[in-house]
Amino acid sequence: MNYLYLALDLGVILFPFLLSFDKKVAYYTQWKSVLLALVLVGIPFLIHDYFFTEHGIWGFEPAYLSGLYIANLPLEEVLFFVVVPFACVFIYACVKQYFAVYSFKQFNQLFYGFIGVYAVIVLLLGWSNWYSSMASIAALILLFYVYKKPNIQFIPFAFSLSMIPFFMMNSVLTGLATATPVVWYNNSENLNFRWGTIPVEDVLYSFVLIVCNILIVEWHSQKEKPAISLESHKLL
């Protein structure tokens, strides 16, 4: 059981990594952009994670960990910010390829409306709680930004699909299959309301983490295209 969290990390990244070489999606060609996103988004999230762990807003059960730490964070927690975004951006890349001909206009409006209402409710009910307030405020700021960008219309559907492995992994981490949670939460800093074993704030936290990674991947991929096109033109 000491390697439970590590096994979950490896399980999350295994299939996206192996399927990265699929010719239609060719996710491996985006790894440069993905790596940049993992660094730019991962650093602030890890800093946030460090302080929340330091102040007991959440923590980790040593019985399910390898025992390797970076500062006060288990190695497995650090890897979480690599494997989860990597897998979720892979889902986004697949959606862009396999659902390119579909219009998600109505779905997107419903999705953004739901996330907005969800975040406002969490904010109002948990204003005095660190996790509730920070997750909801960050989600609302990000929501306002992505709502104004129609060229990333695949984000809502891709994020919705990513919630399937998200709930599976987070359910295990929060105690669904173990005597005590792998990751525990101080309920005085959240609403103490859960979807199964998962705090409701985790949905907003995941929204910010995943969407920020997708935005940076999209930005860097678009930035790389002119350079690639110019190089191809010179070769011709």
**How many of the other CB atoms lie within 10 Å of CB of 188?**
12
Name the DSSP class of 103.
-
Residue 136 vs residues 4, 113, 140, 171: alpha-carbon distances, Å: 30, 14, 6, 21
Alpha-carbon span 158 to 93, nearest angstrom: 8
Q: Which residues contact 206 (CB under 8 A, 6 or more apart)?
A: 162, 163, 166
Give the pLDDT score at 148.
75
What is the pLDDT at residue 99? 95
Distance CA 163, CA 171 (A): 11
**Domain limits for position 56:** 4-235
- Tell which phi-psi region holds residue 56, choosing left (phi > 0), alpha (psi between -120 and 50) or beta: left
Residues 170 and 139: their CA atoms lie apart, in Å, by 19
Number of domains in the chain: 1
* 30-81: pLDDT as tens digits: 999 999 999 999 999 999 999 999 999 999 999 999 999 999 999 999 999 9
Calpha distance 134→26 (Å, rounded): 36
Kindly state the helix (H) or strand (E) to which residue 70 belongs, with its residue range. strand 69-70
pLDDT digits (tens, 9 = 90+) for 75-88: 999 999 999 999 99
| Integer angstrom CA distances of residue 186 from 70, 90, 196, 232 | 22, 32, 17, 55
Look at residue 180 in the predicted model and tell me its pLDDT: 95
Read off the pTM. 0.92
Residue with tokens 């102040």: 55
pLDDT band of 143, cuts 50, 70, 90:
very high
Average pLDDT over residues 131-138: 98
Query: pLDDT tens, 190-232?
Result: 999 999 999 999 999 999 999 999 999 999 988 877 654 545 4
